[in-house]
Amino acid sequence: MFGKWFKKEAVAEKPVLPSPYNLRLKAAVDIDPIPFSMISDKLHFVLPAERQIVEAQGKIDLGGGAYLSRYYSCDDAFIQVSSTGGFEEQHVDDIKLFVFEDTITPANQAEWEVWTGKDSKIGDATYTFNGVEYSRVWMAQSEGSIVPVEFEEEVTNLMEGKSPYTVIHLAMLYERLIPGVERYEYLLISAEHTHDDANIVFSLGVDLDPQAFIVT
């Protein structure tokens, strides 16, 4: 219903999809629960099921040879692989496991601009979500509020027979130190839109070690 707001059209051709660690569409990803056993009760979200099936894949070119590859499952979760200079395992900088926690759908252009305009809290030095405060990760040394990071994601969803399409993100990453362990819980906020839809999406996640999952 938001088609009149945005003129970005669907991606015309199937993008070339990276597959680090053999992550790919329709893959089964078995996540080892043991590494999370000591922190699961300290997280502010529920970890997804141990087996995840990749139903959609996103590819993001951040520029300067930096990429994000996302692998979305049927369990409202996704694995995000950050890489530099390529997509092979030696290029990977980090891996995160996120779970979708909340989605707000603006009713009109004015509500959208509340989230994306100059007074938006996306980009503040801290952000409180569900009563928990998180600190900004991206450009953390900058004082005050900053402009959210804008990027395009090419999404391919073969399992539903959809054509590839583009999602525009205005996003910011936050974190909090998990008490008692040297690990972080992440809050990813993204004001995102396609050619006919717009949402504010909140996701919570943790770092994922390559040894903590098996792909088949």
pLDDT at 15: 56
Residue 89 has φ and ψ, to the nearest 5°, of -60, -35
- 153 or 119, which is more confident? 153
**Helix or strand (DSSP H, E) at 127:** strand 126-129
Q: In the chain, pLDDT over 90 holds for what percent of residues?
A: 75
pLDDT at 8: 47
pLDDT at 14: 54
pLDDT of 142 > 80? The answer is: yes
The per-residue pLDDT for range 47-91, each reduced to its tens digit, is: 999 999 999 999 999 999 999 999 999 889 999 999 999 899 999
pLDDT at 206: 97
Q: How far apart, in whole angstroms, are the C-alpha atoms of residue 36 and residue 46?
A: 11
pLDDT at 143: 85
pLDDT at 17: 86
pLDDT at 92: 96
| Mean pLDDT value across residues 34-52 | 93
pLDDT at 24: 95
Q: How far apart, in whole angstroms, are the C-alpha atoms of residue 101 and residue 108?
A: 22
- 17 or 166, which is more confident? 166
Q: Judge if pTM exceeds 0.85.
A: yes
**Cβ(171)–Cβ(151) below 8 Å:** yes
Q: How far apart, in whole angstroms, are the C-alpha atoms of residue 204 and residue 100?
A: 7
pLDDT at 160: 57
The per-residue pLDDT for range 6-15, each reduced to its tens digit, is: 444 444 455 5
Residue 101 has φ and ψ, to the nearest 5°, of -105, -35
